[in-house]
Amino acid sequence: MATKPLLYLEEYKLKQDANDYGLADELWDFERFKQQLQIVVVRYEEDELEFDMIGVNCAVANVFRRLMLSEVPSMAIEKVHIYNNTSIIQDEVLAHRLGLIPLRADPRMFEYKANETDPPTAQDTLEFELKVKCTRKTKEVTEMTNNDNMYKNHSIYSGQIKWVPIGNQSSVYTEAAVGPIDDDILISKMRPGHEFDIKLFAVKGVGKDHAKFSPVATVSYRLLPDIKLNRPIMGNDARLLQKCFSPGVIEIAKDDHAYVKDARYDSCSRNVYRYPQIADAVTIARVRNHFIFSVESLGALKPDVIFVEAVKVLKKKCQKFLKEIKA
């Protein structure tokens, strides 16, 4: 079994393994890359995915992180036509707030808009409207302090945005499939006399043009921690060692000695080096070619689909690059 390439975390510096020369001496070999590459799904809950990418260097891992963030497309509100806005929010701020509301529409069902000046079509645009007006529920308000009892539409939420089908869209989609992902996103607070009359147009785009088009809330990766105890640690020292690491990493056995239960979720804070009596008892490292990815989707696409779409984007880029080289 091949030894894991490690980066050691000492008190004030990083130290490379004596037998590991790092990226400088690694010549690219496609067959070896295929053998070493592994994708292991660790956790999948609703819109969150945690998986391990094993056998790659940081450049490859960062490619997928950046692609998921900025080059996997999604639908977002791009144009806002404000016919009436008597609220306290300025038109520009209101348009910006509306543009950041995530939509549930599947971007794979739509085309990119060829020209911004072209009229909206069923293939490239979703149209919405927001028509609301704040009014008093009753004139007898002298003894009322609850806004819900005093006013109607005093808080405007994303769930009040209504879809307006273009062409044959009503036969292809439903409002629940294309509207805002969350209905409880607060847009504005209003009082009697305040009114919105707005049309919104959503198009397909990518995060590198504007963050509102990013399909994820966040994508991050970190190296797999590797923690080893160099000698037995008992009693109070064992409990002190346990407090130096993230919960669940170090546990205390029945015979009162410390052991490494699960190094995976350690933050590698190096707190252990603050205590001379246990500083030499542990070796902290990270596996240089083992990346732990965390993907949190906004909801339009599932996180595993976002990763697959990132792979497709990378494939297209590689094919384009090879075609330019041959030309």
Report pLDDT for 138. 73
The pTM of the whole model exceeds 0.75: yes
Architecture of domain 74-213: Beta Complex (2.170)
CATH number 3.40.630.30 is the correct assignment for the domain at 1-6+31-72+216-226+282-326: no
Average pLDDT over residues 155-172: 94
Average pLDDT over residues 243-259: 93
Query: In the 3-class helix/strand/coil scheme, how is 276-297 assigned residue by residue?
Result: HHHHCCEEEEEEEEEEEEEEEE
Find out whether 200 and 80 touch, Cβ atoms under 8 Å.
yes
pLDDT at 197 over 60: yes
Give the residue from 292, 293, 291, 289 showing the smallest Cα distance to 2.
289
Report pLDDT for 14. 87
Report pLDDT for 1. 46
Q: What is the mean pLDDT of the chain?
A: 91
